[in-house]
Amino acid sequence: MMGIIYEQSHQQQADGGSLWLLVTVLIAALVTSTYMTWFWALSRRLTGPKVWPLFGSLPSLLANRARMHDWISDNLRATGGAATYQTCILPLPLIARRQGLVTVTCHPRNLEHVLRTRFENYPKGPQMQAAFHDLLGGGIFNSDGETWLLQRKTAALEFTTRTLRQAMARWTNRSIRDRLWRILADHCADGRAVDLQDLLLRLTFDSICGLTFGKDPETLSPSLPHNPFTVAFDAATEATLQRLLFPGFFWRLKKALRLGSEGRLWKSLEVVDRYMTAAIAERKESPSDDLLSRFMKKRDAHGNSFSSSVLQRIALNFVLAGRDTSSVALSWFFWTVMRRPDVERRLVDEITAVLKETRGPEPAAWLVEPLGFDELERLVYLKAALAETLRLYPSVPQDTKYVAADDVLPDGTMVPAGSTINYSIYSLGRMETIWGKDCREFRPERWLSAEGYRFEPAKDPYQFVAFNGGPRTCLGKDLAYLQMKSIASAVLLRHRLELVPGHRVQQKMSLTLFMKNGLRVYVRPRNHCGDLVCSSTDQVRATPAGVATAPAA
């Protein structure tokens, strides 16, 4: 009898287990079916690259991470004249239409709407500010509202002064005359290749430090010394960018445990903080006319002096902007010019024509000093070539905005509050609907007047936003052009550059459009009127001080 009861009990348990398994399978099937129906409806409303259940467009993004900007550009061109698409990076109910939704655009009217017309509705946003806070704090490039406005107004007063432009020219020309020319001449004499991008980064870093702190760290020296601050700053920037690839809770957990990139960020920031603390302390003891000293005299919204921590973040923001953007633009400029001898010839002809008028017909007189402020102002074709470089290879290839309240873009695209707008500056210069059939061609003439003697900016300012637009338009735009023209003319006047055979130029996925492998070049002497210029270091010491297609790279 007991055996029969046991068997019946065992059978009931088995039947109960099977029933629960069946119920579980049915529930799972119902949930999956419901989710897939919801996902199908969501994906039909999206207009961008293929999205996958649970993972959204992240698989495609990761698969194309080595050519992200070109991938985004391909997606935008596929929309035709719309130049806008929407995708989802987190396709989950209640999240997908807000935090998971990303609107990608390069439509000029949409850019104008976001950057100017509804500026207040599109701040940096909490995600971006949180990711960059440890590095940039509440500096001008990582703040919104009153905090940003106060710094903007304070900086605007300084950047509009002629004295600041003169100071930038002074710091840049000193580095060119005393160090860059000598380094290039050394490599010209012995035939060794040099990483031009590295030289440019060092030069612009020394210049912006001089302008910001009144102190030249001389990282551009013949020995190309190791500089702990620049190494730490680069590492901190790269680690900060990695935060944008993951959900906030994930990088915050890594930060708490100091794992991986967050551990490297913490160590790098220690080095950066020590350098900045010392620079601020030195300026407090002996103020000068540099940017840091000028901000020390200013007051915050409450009438108080800026604290050392605030001054540190303000200065660091200017170093970030002043070092990377100009050097990156110049790297792409020289790479393009090396592949376009017709452009190079016209650039050199323009430089020498100006110098003949200002310094006389003798080439030796042209090499005494880098070009001065008034001479640089006359280099119209050089400015056009730099603008064309920035159109195709903008130093900051894309930017992101947070949608504060529901809105509709001028092209009819609905953007819900909490979602993100990514505007692709890189794609903007590659759209036929915006720049015509020759949009991928490097043609400086598009920036010149009909007679070719006057620089003409884009008729629609939102067709070219390499210097941003609206209230956040770059305050250092004129300084950047001045510095780039000074460096470009100084190099082209003395030297021809040749790309090292086999050297692969690739974009590096970072905040700015760095070349992943640098720019390895051979330095050759420039021939003026049959005389070779700067063929050896001794000569430097003796000297008185066609249309090609721009590839994706």
Please name the residue that has the structure tokens 């009861």: 5
Q: Which two tokens stand for residue 311?
A: 């001054």
Spatial separation of the C-alpha atoms in residues 325 and 50, rounded to whole Å:
33
Q: What are phi and psi of 507, to 5 degrees?
A: -80, 140
Residues 276, 312 contacting (CB under 8 angstroms): yes
Residues 89, 103 contacting (CB under 8 angstroms): no
**CA-wise closest residue to 505 among 338, 343, 341, 390:** 338
Q: What are phi and psi of 522, to 5 degrees?
A: -100, 145
Residues 86, 103 contacting (CB under 8 angstroms): yes
**Does the annotation list 88 as a binding residue?**
no
Spatial separation of the C-alpha atoms in residues 408 and 107, rounded to whole Å:
14
Count of Cβ atoms closer than 10 Å to residue 1 Cβ: 5
**408 φ/ψ sector (left φ>0, alpha ψ -120 to 50, else beta):** beta
Residues 292, 322 contacting (CB under 8 angstroms): no
Beta strands 531-533 and 520-528, pairing class: antiparallel
Torsion of CA 204, 330, 236, 61, to 10 degrees: 170
**CA-wise closest residue to 489 among 340, 361, 367, 310:** 367
DSSP state of 179: I
Q: What are phi and psi of 224, to 5 degrees?
A: 45, 65
What's the angle, vertex CA 303, arms to CA 279 and CA 475, rounded to 5?
A: 60
**CA-wise closest residue to 106 among 394, 455, 513, 447:** 394
CA distances from 211 to 165, 229, 323 (A): 10, 17, 11
Residue 112 half-sphere exposure toward CB, CA atoms < 13 A: 10
Count of Cβ atoms closer than 10 Å to residue 218 Cβ: 14
Q: Is the dihedral of CA 32, 34, 38, 41 positive or negative?
A: positive
Spatial separation of the C-alpha atoms in residues 502 and 272, rounded to whole Å:
36
Separation of CA 431 from chain center: 20
DSSP state of 46: -
Q: Binding site residues for heme, as ranges?
A: 474
Q: Binding site residues, as ranges?
A: 474
